[in-house]
Amino acid sequence: MASDAGRILRLRLRNHLALMVGMAVAATAVAAGSWKLGLLWLPNLERILYDSALTRFTHRQGVSSDIVVLAIDQPSLERVRNNPTYARNFGNYPWTRNLWAHVVDELAYRGAKAVLFDMVMDERSTDPSTDESFAQAVRDTGMPFYLGMSAHPSTPPFPKVDPVHVPRALTPPRPLPAQAPGQDAAPQQAEEFEEQEDPSQAPTDPIETAKVLAFPVKTNGRELPLLEYEPTPGLRVPSHIVPPLPVLLPEAGGFGLVEVEPDPDGSMRRTRFAYSDGVNPFVTLPVALAADLFGAKELEFSGRTMRLGSREFQVNEDGSAEIDFGGTLYQRFPLVPVADVLDSWGLRQEGKAGRKEDLEVLRGKIVVVGGLALGLADQKSTPFMALTPGVSKQVAVLDNLLAGRFITETPFWVSVLFGLGLALFSSVLLMTLRRPVLEFVWLLGIVPVVFMGVGVCLALGRVHPLAALPAAAGLLSSLGATASNHLFANREALFIREAFSRYMEPKLIEQMIEESELPRLDGEEREITAFFSDIRGFSSFSESFRDNPRMLVSVLNRYLTRVSSALLYEGGCLDKYIGDAVVCLFGAPVNHSDHAVRACKGALAVQTAVERLREEFREKNLPDVYTRIGINTARLFVGNFGSDQLFDYTAMGDGMNLASRLEGANKAYGSLIMIGPRTYELAKDSIEVRELDQVRVAGKKEAVRVYELLALRGELSSEKRETVNRYHEALALYRLRRFSEASIVLDTQLSRAPQDGPTAALLKRCQEYAETPPPPEWDGVTSLDKS
């Protein structure tokens, strides 16, 4: 059965492969074109699938061992506001910069490795001394300090420069000496500045500023993205760098852009590493810090590779990369409230050292300062959270730089190839198996299949093949295959109407079509009942028409019409005529569960029709006709068989051969309808039979019981039942080798029913064995010759 099913699949694949491939190619082309043009909602679907796969498959356990977030959280805002000393010295948020001077001092004391400020400081304070206080703290502690910078369309561009970056060694910082308790550094420094020119007001050379802010980027022919601003949808204007406070320019380890870089839906998923204002190149803030960490003199792009000092990263074709968040900000990074660091600094100044372990998490770490409080209006969206502090992006990018990997998109052709493979698999799967349930399940399952594939790529390789394009290709190909299957089904229905109209009752054909029970014309295995009939002595019958062959054809046609009508009435399918022989199938192509009973009813109806025909023939002085019938039930392979020029719907298998042998065996037993054991087993509750014998078919070792079909259940006459009972009695004696006793029983009954052929046949055999006993190994089985 498995080999038959495999043959069917191979035939379908061979016959429709060109259509399957064409359908897959067309579906992939439509999907690829729609992706390029932004049609079919593919960009939105892509973002949804990517976000789901990213959060499900790339979520990592544990917190970073390299980065700590110094949080400007709501409790810190309240603690500064509610502390009279803090409120007097630092004001409300945004705090004066001498607060950050103390924070930098304390971070140096706690052994922080470097500080990255996710903020910009491009406006001078109302008290310039606080700006200098901050710059002085950075200078005196030696803290590697990296500050954000922004761009704006109203800012004039810097002149073009040849930027040079000398990597700064991230040496351990040194804390400032403790001051007198309660004394703030700002007033002393303010007095000093009263005697000098305000450094924040000092003119700054644009060329020198550009040299500090710009970063050498080697693009190897790739154009850097421009800094742009979109005041209204569709209108983009160039932006230029807003320079940070001049007092901070010589003190900071580096400056970098803090662009949000949202996708069209506003969510942060990817980052660029360098931008241009149309004149000079500038790097992002995490790159500015990583450049010193990796000893980089320049940032270099080459194909899908980015080099930064000692590190090499895979990037997308446009120089961007997708961020491997690994989880939410709160799951991935230790968070320290800025108020804790400020309190620790205050206690140390008063000589009241707090618990050392409270801030030990800062030692040797890169500290990223960013706002977490909702009131700071710095809430963005990432795949992991609908609203998360904007610092999440900067921290995640820095973490990816330190880990040496980002998520990168596969080349477009890989996604197209993925889509083509899925589309081809879909068309082959649905057009070979042709299961309506499978069509429905597969249509629902394509997106989950693509989702799992993308998830595995993200988890194992940190690569992102497109999901929406292959999903669209698979769905379009599946819809095409489903439509094609229904078209084939309609064609098959039309073919079945035409092909079976001469072999089956029209109502059965329509029932088969309406119930979607179309036969598999390319073959299938099922249990059916085969019917064979033949005219006894047809050679002698036809000899009588030797001088009038036209009459022979007319008589034979009348006979075949009567036999065929009786069989069609019971739901049979006429297989073929072989001269005077009729071959009929029950249970195929219509899958009748009672096919054995129908075949028996059809055989009895044929006998009744032939009896009437005999009477008609006698009245017209035509030769007499008798019909012998063989019926057998078995699992047979049914379908269209033949050549390219001629084929027909029929059945093949040993079961068909046995049905033919049973028809011929009637001659030896004097019976008219002989049925096989499986037919008897399925129909025994509906029929009356006589067990004739155990027979062995030529070429087979196993013996089978055969039966004579006599009537439908309850329609057997009492005289015939008595004959059957005596026959069974004699058959039992026969099998016990008591041939003489069996002969007596049979002879007595034959005198009462002289026309009973099986009684006469068994009597003759018993008499022969009584005179010449069979050999000792005789098992009571009769062998049927091939003839």
The structure tokens listed for 91 are: 């004001």
C-alpha–C-alpha distance, residues 729 and 238, integer Å:
111
Q: Is residue 773 part of a domain?
A: yes
**Pairing mode, if any, of strands 581-586 and 647-652?**
unpaired
C-alpha–C-alpha distance, residues 93 and 372, integer Å:
13
Residue 579's SS3 state is coil
Q: How many CB atoms lie within 10 A of CB 427?
A: 28
Domain boundary among 404, 423, 456: 404
| Residues 464 and 554 grouped into a single domain | no
Domain boundary among 664, 692, 716: 716
Q: Is residue 308 part of a domain?
A: no
- What b/e string do you get for 369-387 counting C-beta neighbours within 10 Å, with b at 16 or more? bbbbbeebebbbbbbbbee
| Residues 701 and 726 grouped into a single domain | no
443: Cβ–Cβ under 8 A, 6 or more apart, which residues? 475, 478, 479, 482
Amino acid at residue number 390: G
Q: In the chain, what is the straight-line distance between the N-terminal and C-terminal CA atoms, in Å?
A: 30
The count of residues in the chain is 787
| Residues 607 and 710 grouped into a single domain | yes
Q: Is residue 344 part of a domain?
A: yes
pLDDT at 553: 85
Residue pLDDT, tens place only, 195-225: 444 444 444 789 999 999 999 999 998 899 9
| Residues 430 and 332 grouped into a single domain | no
Q: Is residue 133 part of a domain?
A: yes
| Residues 128 and 266 grouped into a single domain | yes
The structure tokens listed for 732 are: 């039992």
**Pairing mode, if any, of strands 573-578 and 782-784?**
unpaired
pLDDT at 489: 65
Q: How many CB atoms lie within 10 A of CB 197?
A: 8
C-alpha–C-alpha distance, residues 406 and 398, integer Å:
10
| Residues 532 and 574 grouped into a single domain | yes
Q: What is the pTM of this model?
A: 0.66
Q: In this structure, are residues 166 and 254 in contact, taking their beta carbons and an 8 Å threshold?
A: no
| Residues 467 and 352 grouped into a single domain | no
| Residues 430 and 489 grouped into a single domain | yes
pLDDT at 229: 80
Q: Is residue 511 part of a domain?
A: no
DSSP 8-class letter at 575: E
**Pairing mode, if any, of strands 647-652 and 627-642?**
antiparallel
Burial class (CB in 10 A: 0-12, 13-18, 19+), 433: middle
Residue 658's SS3 state is helix
| φ and ψ of 609, to 5 deg | -65, -40
- Cα 23 to the center of its chain, rounded Å: 18
Q: What is the CA radius of gyration of the chain?
A: 48
C-alpha–C-alpha distance, residues 594 and 655, integer Å:
17
| Residues 149 and 73 grouped into a single domain | yes
Q: Is residue 112 part of a domain?
A: yes
Nearest to 636 by CA among 531, 564, 489: 531
Nearest 10 degrees: CA dihedral of 650, 653, 655, 658?
100
| Residues 335 and 347 grouped into a single domain | yes
Angle at 89 between CA 199 and CA 348, to 5 degrees: 100
The structure tokens listed for 521 are: 């014309």
- Cα 508 to the center of its chain, rounded Å: 39
Which 3-state string (H, E, C) describes 701-750?
CCCEEEEEEEEECCCCCHHHHHHHHHHHHHHHHHHCCCHHHHHHHHHHHH
C-alpha–C-alpha distance, residues 204 and 210, integer Å:
10
The structure tokens listed for 534 are: 């033949």
Domain boundary among 373, 404, 435: 404
- What b/e string do you get for 324-358 counting C-beta neighbours within 10 Å, with b at 16 or more? bbbbebbebbbebbbbbbbbbbbebbeeeeeeeee
Average pLDDT along the chain, 787 residues, taken 10 residues at a time:
59 84 96 94 95 94 93 96 94 94 95 96 91 94 95 93 91 70 43 42 76 96 89 81 94 94 93 96 97 96 95 96 95 95 91 73 96 89 93 96 95 96 95 88 94 95 96 96 80 61 56 53 82 83 78 87 90 86 89 93 95 89 87 89 63 90 92 95 96 84 91 94 95 94 94 94 94 91 72
Residue 650's SS3 state is strand
- Cα 668 to the center of its chain, rounded Å: 63
C-alpha–C-alpha distance, residues 543 and 548, integer Å:
10
C-alpha–C-alpha distance, residues 327 and 186, integer Å:
41
- The kind and range of the H/E element at 379 are strand 379-380
- Cα 234 to the center of its chain, rounded Å: 38
Domain range enclosing 637 = 521-716
Nearest to 760 by CA among 745, 739, 746, 741: 746
| φ and ψ of 168, to 5 deg | -95, 130
Domain with 525 in it: what CATH number? 3.30.70.1230
Q: Is residue 222 part of a domain?
A: no
452: Cβ–Cβ under 8 A, 6 or more apart, which residues? none
β-partners of residue 135 are none
DSSP 8-class letter at 169: P
- Checking 718-725 for CB contacts under 8 A at 24+ apart, the result is 719/752, 719/753, 720/753, 721/688, 722/749, 722/752, 723/749, 723/752, 723/753, 723/756, 723/759, 724/690
Q: In this structure, are residues 189 and 133 in contact, taking their beta carbons and an 8 Å threshold?
A: yes
Residue 256's SS3 state is strand
Residue pLDDT, tens place only, 376-420: 888 999 999 999 999 999 999 999 999 999 999 999 999 999 999
β-partners of residue 237 are 229
Q: Is residue 516 part of a domain?
A: no
| Residues 269 and 139 grouped into a single domain | yes
Nearest to 77 by CA among 338, 323, 288: 338
- Cα 638 to the center of its chain, rounded Å: 34
- Cα 21 to the center of its chain, rounded Å: 19
The structure tokens listed for 374 are: 């909702």
C-alpha–C-alpha distance, residues 480 and 475, integer Å:
9
Residue 307's SS3 state is strand
Q: In this structure, are residues 71 and 336 in contact, taking their beta carbons and an 8 Å threshold?
A: yes
Burial class (CB in 10 A: 0-12, 13-18, 19+), 72: buried
Q: In this structure, are residues 298 and 166 in contact, taking their beta carbons and an 8 Å threshold?
A: no
Number of structural domains, the chain? 4
| Residues 393 and 474 grouped into a single domain | no
Q: In this structure, are residues 408 and 464 in contact, taking their beta carbons and an 8 Å threshold?
A: yes
